[in-house]
Every structure is written in C-alpha cells, then in structure tokens.
Structure 1
Amino acid sequence: MLKAVWLTNIDSQVMNSRKNLAEGMQRLADLGFNTIYPVVWQRGYTIHPSEVAKQWTGAAILPNSPFVGRDVLTEIIELARPLKMRVIPWFEYGLMVPPNSTIARRHKELLTLDINDNPQRVQGANGELDPNVWLNPCHYRVRKFMVDLITEVVRKYPVAGIQLDDHFCFPQELGYDKFTQLSFQQHNLGEMAPIEHDSEIWIEWGAERLTELLQQIVSSVKSVRRDCIVSISPNPLRFSRSRYLADWQRWQELGLMDELVLQVYRDRLEAFELELSKPEVQTARAKIPTSIGILAGLRTRPISSQIIKEQVAAVYAQQFSGLACFFYETLFHEQLVPNPVSRSRSQLSDIFTLSQPL
C-alpha cells in the first residue's frame, strides 16, 4: 500500500541539509511511509543540478539556496535505499513560473496570454491576479523544454518514477496569444477561437493540446526506462478539466498514467468521501493504482490530527491503493505559525500505524 509524502523547499527545512534529510526520512520510515515525492522543479528553477535548466535560465540549480554545491536528489536516493523507500521526483510547478523568473523574462514569447494580452490569469471573486505566469503548452519550444527537463532526471538518476501535479495544466482563461490563436485556426479550418473561454469547444481543444504534451513526455520517459512510473496528482476531474483543461480521465483511458494520486483537500469528511465515490475515480481505480492526496496543513492553515485520522481511515476503509500527505512539515506539525505546534508520536502512530488495515 502506498504511504507517501511530498517534500517541499518552501515552509520546510527538511531538504536544506543531508542531516535534515536523514533524520526526516527515518521519521517517515518509522511511521511506515514507503514513498517520497521530493520537489525538483519550483519557481522557474531546478533543485537538482540540471543542464537543461541551465540552458534556459543560466543557472543549473536554484540560485542562493541551500542546494547550491549539492546534488540533493542523489542524497535523497542514497538515504532512501536502506529504508526501502521509493523516490519519485515531483515537478511541482509544471508549466507555471513566477513573472520575474529568468525563464519568464528571457522567453516572453513562450508565455500564454489572456484575451487582454495579460500573462497573469484572473482568479477569485475580487478579480485579483494570479501571482504566476504560464508557459504555453501549445508551443513546440515549451514542449521540448518540458520533455527534456523531465527526461534528463530519468536518464541521470535511478528514480522509481516522475510526478506531475495540478500545475501541469492550461488555465482556461489563457491561450489568447497570437501563436495559440493561429494554432487553433489551423486545427479548425480557419475558424476563430471562441471569445468565451468556458466554451466546450475551447476546453476540448485546449485539453487535447495538453494531452499531446503529456504523450510526448511519457513517450520520451518510457524510451529511457520502460519501468519508470508516470505519476499524476491532479485536482478532482470536474474542476481539473473545466478550469485547467487537464482531462486526467482521458489520460487514464490513453494509458498515460501509471499512478493516480488524486488531491482531495477537503475539511469536511462528507465532502472528502463524496469525491472518493465519484464515478471517474472508481473507474480509474479499477484500471491503475489510485491513491488519495490528503492535506495535512499549510503554513497558515492548520489541520487537526483528528481530521487527518478520519480521512486516512476513509481511504483505508474504501481500500484505495494508498495515500499521500501534503506536506512533510505539516505532517509533523499541527500548526506552523505563529509558533510551531508538533504532533505527538502517539498521535501520528494512531493515525498511520494503528488504523492501517491488515
């Protein structure tokens, strides 16, 4: 059974040194965790040394970070081996990058835009801008970059697989740059793209372009290592497909996923269990290993041990392939700010050991 956790470089110190990693991974192993998803692509830079990233950003690794002068992915793999833990690098930011990142400033022509030529999408009821911009999944240069970036890891490191999450997407409001609009016309006999970005025609067309990119990634990864797991960790399907054009049900049907880790970040148990019962989830789990992503908390959003326990128990009771917790620091801390409040060893054992099915 999968018991996984995401390792981040934000709001967490676990990756900042080999010593921290060794201690953290032992703590996870003691609780029965057998898989880690360490971040390797974040905010327009890699956490591990990457020649592909260097060609695009001028930096082979995240500048001015605790990772300079190290190969943190090698460290993780070495530490995981005696603990019998799988390592699946997590390309957290997918196609998303900060607007002030080197890659966004150097390659503005590769950013996709909204209908007002803005690379930042509008989100929320108050019309605030998303703080990030998006690389264009329709552009052949972006596709080559993503394929090369991911395949490089599979070629260099003995990892169990690679993971893409909800940021591997094509936000619904974007795609109104000239390149994408011309591409739409070429695919649709000269017809202009609909102005309404919630049009089903637009959603279907954009979703197919993102699927094409995933097909290229999977083909390249599998050509290097046939046994390399392609793990996808999306949002629930309705939201994922309509808002981000990430049709993971289609991906499953096409055989593009080896593992589904569905993010079900809900506070109420009823809402959590409702997502687990959705037909598309039940269909996926009949075809491929399907696990459930559980939110253990965020820096400013504490989640009680009781809520986590109830959700873990629900995953066990419904006999999913496993679970994954976001993220390491909140797994061990019920609260991070203003002062950290640790979860006790007995609380964690009660959640992850005593409630595990035989």
Structure 2
Amino acid sequence: MISMVWKKSIGSNISFVKKAFNWMRLFVTNIKKRLLPLLFLLSFTAVLLFQSFSLPSIAQLPPQNRQEIRGVWLSSNDLNVFRSGAKVQSAMLKLQELNFNTVYPVVWNDGYTKYPSAVLQKKGIPFFFRGAEGQDVFADIIAQARSQGLLAIPWFEFGFMVPLTSELASAHPNWLTQKRDGTQTSISAAGEVAWLNPFHPEVQSFITELITEIMTKYNPDGIQFDDHMSLPVDFGYDKYTINLYTQETGNPPPSNPQAQAWIKWRADKITAFMVDLYQSVKAIKPNAIVSVSPNYYDFAYKFHLQDWLNWVRLGIVDELVMQVYRDDLNSFSSKITRPEVLESQQSIPVGIGIMAGLRGRLVTIAQVQSQVQAAQQRGLGVAFFYYESLWDIAPEPAPQRQSVYAALFPTSRRRDVSQITPRQPTFRTVSLPLFTRPSALTRARGYFLELSSAGGAPRRILLDTGSSGLRVPREFLGNTPIRRTGQTIRETLSDGTILEGELVYAPIRFGLIPTTEPVPIQIVTSRQCTAQRPNCSAKSGTPFSGIIGVNYFEKSLPYNPLRKLPGNLSNGFIITGNSNSNSNSNLTLGLTSENQAGFKMAAWTKQPAINGVEGDRWDSRLGGVCVTIALNATKIPCNARMIVDTATINGSIEVKSAATIGKLKAGVLGTANTLRLAINSVFDYSLTPGNRDGFNRWSLSISPQLQFPVFVNTGIGFLDRFDLLFDPVNGRQGFRPRSQST
C-alpha cells in the first residue's frame, strides 16, 4: 500500500472560489438593506458557479457513480483492534457515527491469509491469525461492518508480492520471477520481498482460487486489489517468461527492462489476467465491487506494469481509489486532477487514498482536513490509511480529530451495491496488432489476429475479409463451457478448401476485449479440396491456424463475430496492413470521426437479412471497378466486381467469357502485363505482376459459371498501398492511400 516517500512540507492552496466567497461575506457585512434583493441574486449565481467549477462531472454520472467513497483500510497495523471482538464492534460503530461507509479489511499479506483458507491448507501453509476469543477475525469484521451499514470489501494487499522466506515461496520456487541479473527480491514498504510470476498459469490459478474462496466463503461486498497486483518493471527475466515472450515475438526480451514493447507485453499479460479475475468474481456475485487502489498512472504503468487506466476502460473496475500519499497540498492536488482521474470519474466512483498517519510518522489533522476538502471539491471520495491512525496514533487528542471527521462528513452517505452491474468497456476505438505469421516459428504469410475462444490460450488466427465467421480447430478451445448445437456445417473457401465441423456457441476475446455474448464458431474437424481445385491449402499439410471471417456478406451461420463487440467497437473496423513488416500492421476496432479521416468511400449493396444474424447484411463485392491489363487486345469495361481478400496472398482476375480478354491467355500474368484497378474518385491501384515474396503474383482465369462478367480478388498486396475500412452501419467500404512502394 505504501510506496511513496514524503519529502515536502505542508503548503497552502486557497482556491479562486474560496476567495470569491470570502469577498462575498465581506460585501454582505457592509451592504445596505435596499440592495438585499441584488445580493440574493449574486449569491445564487455564485453558488451555481461554485457547483459548476468544483464538480464538473457529478451531474453527468449515473446514480451508482454518485456514491461517495468514505473508506478506511484495516491493515496489519490494526492487529490489536482486529483480534478483539469488542474492539471491532466499537470501531464499526464509531465509523458509522462519523458517516464513513466502507471498510477495506486486509485479507492477504506476507504470504498468508487473514482467514482459515482451504486453498492454503492443501499446500501445507499454516493459519495462525485467530481472534482473542478464537473467532474468525475476518468473518467478524464483515458481520460487524454490515450491522452498521458499512460496505466490507476485502483488501488483497500483497497481490503478487510475497516474502522470499515464506512457506509459499519456499514450496514453489518456480513460481517466482526475477531480474535480469538473477536477483529475486526488491525493496518495498514491506521490506525485502519476492514476486510471484503473474504470467505463470499456476500462479494465476492460485490467485484465482484464493479470490474465489473469499467471495464464496464470506460473500463480501467486493474485493480490492492495490498497487501490488503488479510487477516491478525490472522483473520478468525468469525462464518461463523468457520462453513465453520468445515464442510469441520471435525474439528474447530486451536487456533494457524499460523498453516500451517489453513493458506493454508484460502489462497486457497482467491486464488479461485481471479480465479473467473480474469475470470470476462476477460469476459468483454479479453486484460485487471490484475495486483497485493503485498509485498514480504514470508511476503505476512505467514502474510497475499496472495499466489500471486500461482496466477502467475495459470495464473490469467498479471503483478506483488512487493512492496519493503527499505532505504538500500542491503536490497532492496536482495528482488528483490528472486526466486519467477525470476520465475514470465519468464511469465509476473514484476516491483518493489519503495518509492519516503511521506509527513512526504522525500526520496532523490539519493536513488530513485540507486534503479531504481538496478531494471533495473535485467530486472525489476518500479512503484513509489506516484505521488506528485516524485518531488513536496521532498528534492531536482523539476527540479533536473525530470532530474534524464529523465536520468533513456531516451527513450519511450509505452505498447501495444492488446498483452495481457488470460494465461494458468505454473505448470508442481500440487498435489490435496484426501479425504476418501465425507464430514466430512458422513461414505461412497473411494477416493474423490474436484472440482466444472459450477461455483458451490466445492464438493467432488468419484475418479474412473475404468470408464470415470464426472457424478454429478443436484444440483452440479452452475450458469455458460451450453450447453445442449438433449441427455440422460446411464452408468452401476461395482456394477450394472445404471446411467441415460442428457449429457451437462460445465466448471469445479479441486481445483484451471480450464479446458481449457467446458467438457461433465452426469447430473444424475435416479439411479437403474440391475436385476443381485439388491443390488447395488442405493439401499442403500446413496446420490449420483458424480463420476469422470479418465480412458482412453472411450467407449462413456463423456470422462475423465483430458484430458482438461491446458499444462503439462493433460499428466497424479499419485494417492497416504492411506485408513487409510484422510491427506496423493493426486492426482498429470502432469507427470515429477522427480515424475515418482521409478515407474515400464506395457503397455496398444491401442484402436481405438472414435468420440468426443481427444487423444489416451487405454484399461487399464492390461494383463499377475499371480493370486494365497491358497487352490486352480488348478493353475490359468498368463493370467488374472486386473484393479485397486478406486471406489470399496472390491476386486474381476471373472472367466469364474468353472474349473479354482478347488474345490474352489464362494463367499467371507476367511483368509485361501491367495491371490497373480503379473506382472513380475512390482509389486507383496499379502494379507490375511479379513475385515479390509471393505478394505480386496475379493469375487470370476463365470461369463460365461466374456470376459477373469480371471478378477481381486483389489479395493482401493491396494493403501495402491502402488502409481498408469496413462500415456496416452505413453500408460502405473505405480506401485511404498509404505507401507508393511495391
């Protein structure tokens, strides 16, 4: 909890608004009675201005977010209170009398739980934290808090932090991570500590079991994670993490622990675990408060890999209590007015962690008062570290300090957890990386998007703008329950590959973004080639990486799973490709006015709705495409249909009649056959067919059964030149020029 150092002295911070009110009081003293109506008007106006100035966001928040946090941590420093049932009862009564509304009793630190844990008992770890009367202290705190109308939210204090000498660390040395030089410990406010590896599945399972046990056994009002649900930036150089990073990226971790990509990779892994942990809590108690109490964001992310702002945006945080332990009021105020605090206030209750005192460092009630008032003026709640320093361990007498708290909280503000519901992500848009290979060790090329299905491990799956629906091998599924339909479906791909398998429904997650509900998935159990195309991808022997079809021209189930993304993220997407690089390609989810800038649009044709597919269905085979091929005796008119298909490496042109191509013969186009594709005022694309890493090969074929006179599939080479936008709301596709290199 305590990770900051107090250096500066207490300063003063008289706001403009307070000066205005002081001036107003002086004015009232000298005003003549005949001006009282004017004075009333001025006063009323000033009150309105004060409310607007000090509380800019409160009026915009939903009811649950107006619940002001007035909390206190019950830490290990408060042991003499915890162990006595009478003292616990007296403490909860006093907090209720002073209009506090939340307590955060410590439940996990030093490698031990503060309650008798079956999870730890199985690991042979002893339990010795019993009350003076032999009672379950933790159960007693929850019961006494509730009897006084206080929320009881267990504080999972140590997170991934454990003493190196603890039974847990000794029993599971493979669970610990380390620095690059092999050092296993760091210095914290709790002394010298080791860190459980947050990327190790056994560690994640252990933490999840503890949280599940707490929620099930005690039915608390929520759970709180603080700044130790993280990892110091210097750690992550253990064997397991090095192998995982190398497997996923193709390179070992950089020697500089603060390299941006290395920070992001580790932070995202912790975030992914927090998404799972949030879902585990909500599965047990949907209205539980998942609370986080981190340091301010820049410090938390850069030095502890804790991307808590992303957690808020992902909707996996119901309450934020940001620790700001400062003596200087100006320094304190600068932290609580940061943009990430203001953004969080728009969606969840936000409080500020305030230092009430330590045994060796007493804090005056004047400092506490000024910081609480600074937070309140900005619509923020507060939580104090820790209970005994509220008034027992303090420079002033207890009655004096209690009278100040009574003045700070003059009325009751009880909190209603019944209004807490699982939240949706608040992102307007988010960008996910695209990879040019399904894994770092394979040679196949394309654009691959990382996702997980049914709680399985993240996998890179081929992004296909030419088809619809998610199709994966059975081994890609995790252990999350799926809904089976018993229906076998068959899909024929453009290269002649036939996919067969059962249609099921399961939840999926794109990076860190879960779908709002389970989506249809084809579990592919059979692949074969059509008779017309015997050399399809099924014949090559290459393992099937899975396909995610993101086209909105659905013919049947399964449909494009992007339809089931939350909020604005489901309204369309942008592909920024670069087949020459594995680092500059991405999928942007969610269209905004900003990210649509520079695109020129071509309209799709609306299609009849089909059963089981929500939203509009579009024929994304664009019409009115002009095609020119050098050395072609007959000019192809501007009546071609075209699709940009990211699942195809090579481009192709199919014609219904041989007369359309004159003296040209079917087959692979050569360098003399300069090719040009264009839609008037939308895009103009030309290239010389060749074989640059397989991306410039173009073939010409005659297909009498073709629906259109000319059909063009550009392949993924097109994305070297253009960003691609899909807008299913307005039925259009956008093109934005990127690079002129081939």
TM-score (norm 2): 0.45
- Whole-Å Cα distance in 1 between the matches of residues 161 and 295 of structure 2? 16
How far, CA to CA, are the matches of 1:353 and 1:267 in structure 2?
22
Q: Does 1:159 align with 2:212?
A: no
State whether residues 325 and 354 of structure 2, in contact with CA within 8 Å, keep that contact through their aligned partners in structure 1.
Answer: yes
Cα drift, residue 151 of structure 1? 1.1
Write the letter of the residue equivalent to 1:323. Answer: V
Q: Measure the CA separation in 2 of the matches of 1:323 and 1:67.
A: 31
Q: Measure, in 2, the Cα distance between the counterparts of 1:229 and 1:263.
A: 18
Q: Distance in 2 between matches of 1:160 and 1:273?
A: 30
Mapping of 1:22-101 within 5 angstroms?
22-59=89-126, 61=127, 63=128, 66=131, 69-101=134-166
Which amino acid in the other structure matches residue 69 of structure 2? L
How far apart are 1:323 and its partner, in Å?
A: 0.8
Distance of aligned partners of 1:284 and 1:57 in 2 relative to their CA distance in 1, 3 Å threshold: farther
Paired AA for residue 13 in structure 1: N
The CA distance in 2 between the partners of 1:4 and 1:349, in whole Å, is: 17
Q: Which amino acid aligns with 1:355?
A: L
1:67 shift after superposition:
7.4
| Matched residue, 1:317 | 377
Q: Distance in 1 between matches of 2:199 and 2:182?
A: 16
SS across alignment from 2:292: strand
* Percent of aligned pairs with the same amino acid: 37
Deviation readout 1:258-309 (Å, 9 max, x if unpaired): 0000101111110111011101110011111111110111221111110000
Partner of 1:338: none
Aligned-residue offset at 1:347:
2.7
Letter in 2 for 1:41: W
Q: Let me know the Cα RMSD of the aligned residues.
A: 1.9
- Equivalent residues of 1:86, 1:160 under 8 A apart: yes
What SS does the corresponding residue of 2:71 show, helix, strand or coil? strand
Note if contact 2:164-2:193 (Cα within 8 Å) is conserved in structure 1: yes
* 2:252 equivalent in structure 1: 192
Whether the 8 Å CA contact 1:31–1:348 is kept in 2: the answer is yes
1:243 match: secondary structure: helix
Equivalent in 157, 181, 186 of residue 121 of structure 1: 186
Contact 2:145–2:152 (8 Å) recurs in 1: yes
1:171 aligns with 2:232: yes
Whether the aligned pair in 2 keeps the contact of 1:2 and 1:291 (CA below 8 Å) is yes
| Structure 1 pair 280–4 and aligned structure 2 pair: CA distance change class (3 A) | same
Tell me the distance in 1 between the aligned counterparts of 2:307 and 2:240: 22
Distance 1:102 1:23, change over 3 A: same
Quote the residue 1:287 is aligned against: 347
Q: Give the distance between the partners of 2:81 and 2:88, measured in 1 at CA.
A: 5
- Which amino acid is 1:211 matched to? T
TM-fit CA distance, 1:182? 0.6
Structure 2 partner of 1:244: 304
Q: Which residue of structure 2 lines up, in the alignment, with residue 331 of structure 1?
A: 390
Q: Do the aligned partners of 1:80 and 1:87 also contact (CA within 8 Å) in 2?
A: yes
The equivalent of 2:333 in structure 1 is: 273
The Cα of 1:32 is off from its aligned counterpart by 1.0
Q: What SS does the corresponding residue of 2:192 show, helix, strand or coil?
A: coil
CA distance in 1, matches of 2:122, 2:198: 19
Amino acid at match of 1:298: L
SS of match in other structure, 1:293? strand
Question: Which stretch shifts more, 7-16 or 90-99?
Answer: 7-16
Which of residues 57, 76, 80 in structure 2 aligns to 1:13? 80
Amino acid of the residue matched to residue 222 of structure 1?
Answer: K
Contact 1:305 1:343 survives alignment (8 Å): no
**Can you list the C-alpha shifts for 1:43-90, whole angstroms capped at 9, x where unaligned?**
00001111112223432x3x3664794312221122122210100000
Q: 1:181 to 1:70 in 2, by over 3 A?
A: same
Aligned residue type for 2:406: T
Q: Distance in 1 between matches of 2:221 and 2:107?
A: 14
Tell me: CA distance 1:333–1:326, structure 2 relative to 1, closer, same or farther (3 Å). same
- Does the 8 Å contact 1:304/1:334 carry over to 2? no
How far residue 122 of structure 1 moved from its aligned partner, in angstroms, is 6.0
Q: Secondary structure at the match of 1:49?
A: coil
Q: Which runs of 5+ in 2 are unaligned?
A: 1-67, 412-742
Letter in 1 for 2:330: E
CA distance in 1, matches of 2:264, 2:133: 42
CA distance in 2 between partners of 1:205 and 1:88 (Å): 30
CA distance, structure 2, for counterparts of residue 344 and residue 139 of structure 1: 47
Say if 1:305 and 1:334, in contact at 8 Å, map to a contact too. Answer: no
Residue 277 of structure 2 is aligned to residue 217 of structure 1: yes
**Residues 301, 312 of structure 1: alpha-carbon distance in 2 compared, 3 angstrom cutoff:** same
Distance in 2, Cα, partners of 1:52 & 1:342: 43
> Residues 106-132 of structure 1: CA distance to partner in whole angstroms, max 9, x if unpaired?
1011000111111113679xxxx9600
Task: Give the Cα separation in 1 of the matches to 2:398 and 2:132.
Answer: 30
Say yes or no: does 1:353 pair with 2:406: yes
Structure with bigger gyration radius: 2
Say which SS state the counterpart of residue 70 (structure 2) adopts. strand
Per the TM alignment, residue 254 of structure 1 is displaced from its structure 2 partner at its CA by 0.6
Distance in 1, Cα, partners of 2:314 & 2:392: 39
Q: What residue is the counterpart of 1:226 in the other structure?
A: 286
- Whether the 8 Å CA contact 1:303–1:334 is kept in 2: the answer is no
Structure 1 residue runs of 5 or longer lacking an equivalent are 336-340
The 8 Å contact of residues 146 and 152 in structure 2, kept in 1 or not, is answered as no
Matches of 2:180 and 2:132, distance apart in 1? 39
Structure with greater helix share of residues: 1
Q: Aligned partners of 2:321, 2:69: CA distance in 1, in Å?
A: 10
DSSP-derived class of the 1:182 partner = helix
Contact 1:11–1:299 (CA<8 Å) still a contact in 2?
no
2-side partners of 1:34 and 1:113: how far apart? 40
Q: Which has the higher contact order (CA 8 A, sep 6+)?
A: 1
Aligned-residue offset at 1:344: 2.8
Between the aligned partners of 2:287 and 2:209, the Cα distance in structure 1 is 18
Per the TM alignment, residue 314 of structure 1 is displaced from its structure 2 partner at its CA by 0.8
User: Secondary structure in 1 aligned to 2:115?
Assistant: coil
> Structure 1 residue 348: deviation in Å?
2.3
